[in-house]
Amino acid sequence: MHLRRYFARMRTKEIRPVRKSLSKILWSALGAFASIYFISLFGHMFSPQDNFLLLGSFGASAVLIYGAPEVSFSQPRNLLGGHILSAIVSVSLVKIFGGLLEFELLCALSVSLSILVMHLTLTMHPPGGATALIFVIGSEQIQSFGWMYPLTPIATGAFLMLLVALIINNLSTNTKRHYPLYWY
């Protein structure tokens, strides 16, 4: 009986949403392209060999700030705060517990504590979990950033993404597509 109720919770409750209009889809693609391209160019200027600014978590942020600019996860407070706070969490964990805790435990703590901090500070941005994990699982080169990691590449990349999001998301003539909905 308990199992049946448990699995019943997984049944569909709503109808899937309809696809967005072609214009919204194209603006989303343009924004993501411009943002990642700009970060890549900017990063290449300072680090042509490895382009340290180009992180996977920024790809996930592009999906949010261009594909769903109206949701709370996409707002500037969440974009910046989620990435930066998660980076601080992961650097703190590695610096304090790096040689004391198992790698797997550091990985789990970095993501779970980042979620905790983002909830407490109202800065939930799902890619922040990836930002935290990237530092913990990163190579010596990534970890050599140490306390600079939250500033560069994280804050620098997030600010560049925000700048492009402000430009691209407000170019549309659609009055419902604007960014941000709120700053703080």
pLDDT in tens, 67-118: 999 999 999 999 999 999 999 999 999 999 998 999 999 999 999 999 999 9
CA pair distance 10, 5, nearest whole angstrom: 9
Q: Is the pLDDT of residue 152 over 80?
A: yes
* Residue 76 within a domain: yes
Going by C-beta distance under 8 Å and a sequence separation of 6 or more, which residues neighbour residue 137? 107
* Residue 103 within a domain: yes
Q: What is the pLDDT of residue 13?
A: 83
* Residue 153 within a domain: yes
Q: What is the pLDDT of residue 72?
A: 96
43 confidence band (pLDDT: 50, 70, 90) = confident
Q: How many domains does the chain have?
A: 1
Domain of 126 in residue numbering reads as 22-168
Average pLDDT estimate for 1-9? 86
* Residue 175 within a domain: no
* Residue 1 within a domain: no
* Residue 176 within a domain: no
Q: Is the pLDDT of residue 1 over 80?
A: no
* Residue 48 within a domain: yes
CA pair distance 55, 39, nearest whole angstrom: 10
Q: Is the pLDDT of residue 62 over 80?
A: yes
* Residue 178 within a domain: no
